[in-house]
Amino acid sequence: MSIFTEWQRPSAKSERVTLADPHDEGNPKQRAFLGLDRAGLSLLIYGPGDILRCFAALGAAAPVFRSAELRAESPYLGRFPGKSDITWMALNGPAGSAISVQCYPQCDIDFVTRQIAVRVSGPSGVLAPPWQFGIGTVGARVPAGFADIFGPADAVPLGALPGLAALPVSVARPQTASGRQVVR
């Protein structure tokens, strides 16, 4: 099953750029970059507004996000039950917010298509504006609008998102490359 038909593909007019590596080991945002760099396919939901509104819109369109689990190593990295080759992260910053879903080799592409992609894109997608859907590819190639949000954004612990309060939230606040603590 193809993940996208012609009407679901991002517009050829949308500019694609390569994200700059933040080179910030220990900051969860570095994990987000590595996922976008290494995954063969990333589904990107992004736009102006805070992460609470972004996640609420995504959860309404793709309810599977309400069943999220954490990957053992991080309160910032989510997965879906039984789908270890699909991970996701939330980002929030002054330019907007985003959810990135990374699909690694051998992932269940039918699950990604049915539970996420067709629900947020194309004529049957119900993702409400101002939120947009885009595609990222290996090498951290993403739509320019997503890159504008990613640059100044910080990773958000998934337990801080609406409906995911049962997930643990990190006790220590991450620091950005400039050394300032991330405050939510």
DSSP state of 113: I
136-169: pLDDT as tens digits: 999 999 999 999 999 999 999 999 998 887 776 6
Token pair, residue 137, equals 């590819």
Per residue in 26-66, pLDDT (tens digit) is 899 999 999 999 999 999 999 999 999 999 999 999 999 99
Domain boundaries, the chain: 14-158
Long-range contacts formed by 112-116: CB under 8 A, 24+ apart: 112/3, 112/41, 112/43, 112/86, 113/1, 113/3, 115/62, 115/64, 115/80, 116/43, 116/62, 116/64
- Give the Cα separation of 127 and 119 in Å (integer): 7
Measured between alpha carbons, how far is 86 from 106 in angstroms, rounded to an integer?
Answer: 9
Kindly tell me if the per-residue pLDDT of 24 is higher than 50.
yes
pTM value? 0.83
- Strand, coil or helix: what is 78? strand
Name residue 69's beta-bridge partners.
79
pLDDT of residue 12 exceeding 60: no
